[in-house]
Amino acid sequence: MLAGDICFDMLNITKSSVGLLIVITLNPGDFYFGSCGSKVKTILGSCVAITMWNPQKRQGGMCHFLLPSHTEANQDGLSGKYADHAVALFIQDIDRTKTTPQDYQVKVFGGGKMFPQLGRPNEFSVGDRNIVAAKDLLKRHGFQVHSEHTGEAGHRQVMLDLATGQTFVKWQPIDLVAAI
């Protein structure tokens, strides 16, 4: 989903002592790029979120993709469901705002192993493939990953504050003993 095309079910607007607080919740496959005055959040399992923030322009965004790449022709254009499309959506907005990949602080989150008890010990999971795809695509397009919280067995909640660039992560590991 593009910044100018936000669904009302993605928005949570509340009034605080300093004005309106706009929180945009991304579901799997969603994408948002905007400026100061809002927060973007999502919940991740094996999916990956990429956050980007430009400290000079105080703008950036987040994507929540499910799979590393798109394998079939898509008549509807780019989809935030795929890593390659999500990075292309970021590139479009970066070009539109006349900035460069080097202007952004980039962080990668997610790619968790959601069912570790079902896999083989050395198996390359969907989450692992998503992490590799995100890092490879970002590097290929000139982005530098500043930090990451990826892999492991568990899920994450991620929130990006577009006013400050701060990113908050809450990680919940899976209790493997209870999962068996």
- Are 54 and 70 spatial neighbours (Cβ–Cβ below 8 Å)? no
Q: Which residue has the higher pLDDT, 130 or 153?
A: 130
Task: Give 122's DSSP letter.
Answer: T
Q: What does pTM read for this prediction?
A: 0.86
Instruction: Please give the average per-residue pLDDT across 26-33, as a whole number.
Output: 95
**Cβ–Cβ under 8 Å, residues 88 and 73:** no
**What distance in Å separates the CA atoms of residue 67 and residue 2, rounded to the nearest whole number?**
18
Identify the band that residue 73 occupies on the pLDDT scale cut at 50, 70 and 90: low
pLDDT of residue 175: 72
Q: Where are the alpha helices (DSSP H) in the chain?
A: 83-96, 126-140, 176-179
Question: Is the pLDDT score of 130 beyond 70?
Answer: yes
3-class secondary-structure state, position 135: helix
**For residues 4, 27, 100 and 69, what is the CA-based torsion angle, rounded to 10 degrees?**
-120
**CB-based contacts of 155, cutoff 8 Å, min separation 6:** 43, 44, 45, 112, 114, 171, 172, 174
Structure tokens at 177: 């003993």
Residue range 118-135: average pLDDT? Answer: 83
pLDDT tier at 19, thresholds 50, 70, 90:
low
- Does residue 112 contact residue 45 with C-beta atoms inside 8 Å? yes
Burial zone of 93 (CB within 10 Å; 0-12 exposed, 13-18 middle, 19+ buried): buried
Report pLDDT for 18. Answer: 54
Share of the chain above pLDDT 70, in %: 79
Share of the chain above pLDDT 90, in %: 63
